[in-house]
Chain A
Amino acid sequence: MTPLRIALSQGTLLADTRAALAAAGLATDALAEGSRRLVVPAAGVEYVLARPSDVPTHVAHGSADLGIVGKDVLLETEADVLELVDLGFGRCRFVVAAPAGSVDRSFDEYRHLGSLEVATKYPRVAERHFQGRGIQVELIKLGGSVELAPQVGLADWIVDLVSTGRTLRENHLAVVEEIAVCTARLIANRVSYARDRDRIAALASTLQAWAAGRPATAS
C-alpha cells in the first residue's frame, strides 16, 4: 500500500503536530528538530514539510493526501480541501485592532471620508470581514510587522492574527473586534478522502479523540 502523504506546517505548529501524530501512533522520530529534509519517510506515511501557507495548496492539488495547518491559513488561502478535525492546538485569533483610545476618532473620520485604511497580511480575510459588516475600507497589504502601520500613519486600523495579545499591547493597539478563533486542522484532498477513506477515517477519529482529551493551547 502506498504511504499516506501528510503535509506539515513548518514553524510554530510543528511541535504540537509531532505530539498529535505520535499520539495517533505514527512514527515521528524522523521529524527531528533542525533537520533540513523536506520529504521525510516514516512507517506507513510520508511527511512533507512545507511553509504553512503552502500546505492547503499541496493538499488541494493532491501532492499531499492530508495536511495539518491552521484555520487562519485556510481562511486566507480559500483552497478547495476537506476540513476533517479540529486539533485544538495553535489557538490564535483574527482581530481588527486600532490605536488604543482612537476608535471613536476613526469612526468620525469614516463618517467624514467614507472609508478607512486597513493594513493587513491577510487581505482576503479582511476583505470578507468588512464586506460582511458593510464597512468601506481600503486595504493595504503588508508582508509583516503590521502593528507598525497605525503608529506611523500608514493605516487607521489593522487586521492581524494574535495569540497572546502582547504585541498589540506593546504597540498601543486595542482589539476593536474579533473576526475568528483559529486552531490547527487536519485537512484532506477530496480524492484521497474518497479513495483512502479507511486509513484517513481511522486517523481522523484517533486525532479527534486525542484533541478532545486535552486543553486548547496557544501556539
Chain B
Amino acid sequence: MRGALPRGFRDILPTEARELHAIERSLMTTFARHGYVPLEPPSVEFAEGAVTVDERRTLRFLDRDGRLLALRPDVTTAVARVVAQRYRDADAALRLAYFTPIFREEASMRGSEREYDQAGVELIGDPSLRADAEIIALLATALAHCGLPGVDIDIGHVGYLDGFIAELPEGPRAAVGVAARAGDLVGTTQLARDAGMPATRIAALERGLRHRATDLDGPRKDAPAASCRALDALAALAPLLEAAGVGGAVRFDLGFIPSLPYYSGIVFQVTVPDLGFPIANGGRYDGLLARFGADRPATGFGIAIPHLHQALVAAGWQAPSDSPLLILEPHHDDATTLRVATALRAAGAAVAIGDVAEHAGQDVRRARVVDDAHLEYEGVVRAIEAVVAVLAGRAPR
C-alpha cells in the first residue's frame, strides 16, 4: 500500500497547487469587489443536515459519541445554518463567498474525484430580479478576470416547467418533476400525457424544452399562465444583464433544468467548448432556508474548480507569477549567504538557497553570492540592488 491513496483522492502537486491558488486569489478578489465576504465552514457536518446532496453521496462516518457525521458535501448547508443561527432577523442582504474543498461519494470506476474545490457565492435576503442579474454578472465577471475566454451562460427558469406540471393532479405531478430533473424528457412527456395533459400543452412543453428560444414570445403559445410569468421574468432580466455588461455572453434556454430539486426561479449554467461537464451552475432557491428556520429568499452559484482549471489550461492559461525565483549558489561562508538572501528578500525578491528539486512551473533565475553586497548574475558581478531591479524588470540587463 506504499504511496497509495483511497480512490477519488489525490495529491495536488506544487505546479497545480500554485495554479489553484492563483485561481482562488482571482475569484475571491472579484467576489470581494462585489461586496461578498468570506465564510469558512467546518469540514464536518451532521450527516442528516445535508440538503442539496443525496445522502448516498455523502462520505459518512461515526464519531466516538456515536453520532453519524459527514464530510461537507456542499457549502449551501453551512450557509443555511449560519443564516438561521445568526442572521435570521436581519433585514439587509447578506453576501457570502467561499473557496473550499467539498466531498462527494462516487461509484467506483467512474473516474470521479471524491474531494475537489468548489468556489461560490450566496446572496441572501434579496428577492429581486436585480439580485438574479447581479449574481449572473458576478459569475461572468469572475470567470473573465480569472482569464477564461468565451464562456457561455445558459439561463432558464424552473417556473416554466412548473407551470405545466402545476395543472396536473397531485400524484403524477411529483413523478413528472422527478423525470424532468433526471433529464428524462421522454418520461416527462409520457407521464404528463398519462396524467391527462392536453395534446396542445404537451406539444408546447416539448417545443419549449427542446428548441432554444430565439425570442421569449414563441414559447408563450399554448403555455399556462404560470409558465408565461416565468417568461416575463426572463424578459425583464435581459435588459438588466445588458446593463450589467454581460448581455453578450448569455442566452435563454428553457430546456435547462437543474437536477437539484430546490431551485425556485431563474437558474443558469456555464459551459465551454470541449468540456463535457458544466464549469459552474446556480440559481434562485427561495424556500430552502426555511427548512433551517430562516425563511429568506436566496440565490447563488458554485464553480467546480477542477473543471474551471481544466478549461483554463486548455485555453493556454498560465498562473501569473509575481517575480522570478532567484536560486543562490551559496558563498563558502554560510553567514554571508544568509545575509545576502535576507537583503534580497527585504528588497522584494523571491530567493531560495542551493538548487531546488521542484520549480512548480515558476520562472527561475540563478546567481552566485560573491560577498555581502554583490552577486554574480548572468556573468556580471552586480550590487544586490541592481540584481533586484533587473529581476523586477525595472532596469536593463
On A, residues with C-beta under 8 Å from B are 57, 60-63, 80-86, 185, 189-195, 197-198, 201, 204-205
Contact = CB atoms under 8 A, between A and B. Distances in A.
B154 A194 contact: yes
Given A61-B111, A194-B253, 8 more contacts: A63-B276, A80-B259, A83-B187, A84-B210, A85-B186, A189-B276, A191-B275, A191-B277
Contacts of B269: 194
B255 A193 contact: yes
Q: Which 10 A-B residue pairs are closest in the complex by CB-CB distance?
A: A62-B276, A82-B183, A197-B212, A83-B184, A191-B271, A86-B186, A201-B210, A194-B154, A83-B186, A201-B211
A84 B185 contact: yes
Nearest to A196: B273
B302 to A, nearest CB: 16
Given A82-B185, A83-B186, A191 B276 contact: yes
Given A197-B211, A198-B212, A80 B183 contact: yes
Interface in B252-279: 253, 255-256, 259, 269, 271, 273, 275-278
Nearest to A65: B276
B113 interface: no
A204 B212 CA distance: 13
Nearest to A78: B107
B152 interface: yes
Contact of B152 (A60, A195, A204): A195
12 contacts: A60-B276, A61-B111, A62-B275, A81-B183, A83-B186, A185-B186, A189-B276, A191-B275, A191-B277, A193-B255, A195-B271, A201-B211
Contact-size category for B: 20 to 34
Contacts of B255: 193, 197
A195 B212 contact: no
A205 B183 contact: no
Interface of B: 110-111, 152, 154, 183-187, 190, 210-212, 253, 255-256, 259, 269, 271, 273, 275-278
A191 B255 CA distance: 12
A204 B255 CA distance: 14
A82 B154 CA distance: 16
A81 B186 CA distance: 12
Contacts of A86: 186, 190
A156 B259 CA distance: 38
Contacts of B275: 62, 191
A190 B183 contact: yes
Contacts of B210: 84, 201, 204-205
A134 to B, nearest CB: 19
Nearest to A186: B186
B212 A201 contact: yes
A75 to B, nearest CB: 10
A193 B255 CA distance: 9
A83 B209 CA distance: 12
Nearest to A183: B186
A62 B212 contact: no
A107 to B, nearest CB: 29
B205 to A, nearest CB: 14
Contacts of B259: 80
A84 B259 CA distance: 16
A84 B110 CA distance: 23
Contacts of B277: 61-62, 190-191
Contacts of B152: 194-195
Contacts of B184: 82-83
B256 A83 contact: no
Given A84-B186, A185-B186, A194 B256 contact: yes
Nearest to B179: A83
Nearest to B184: A83
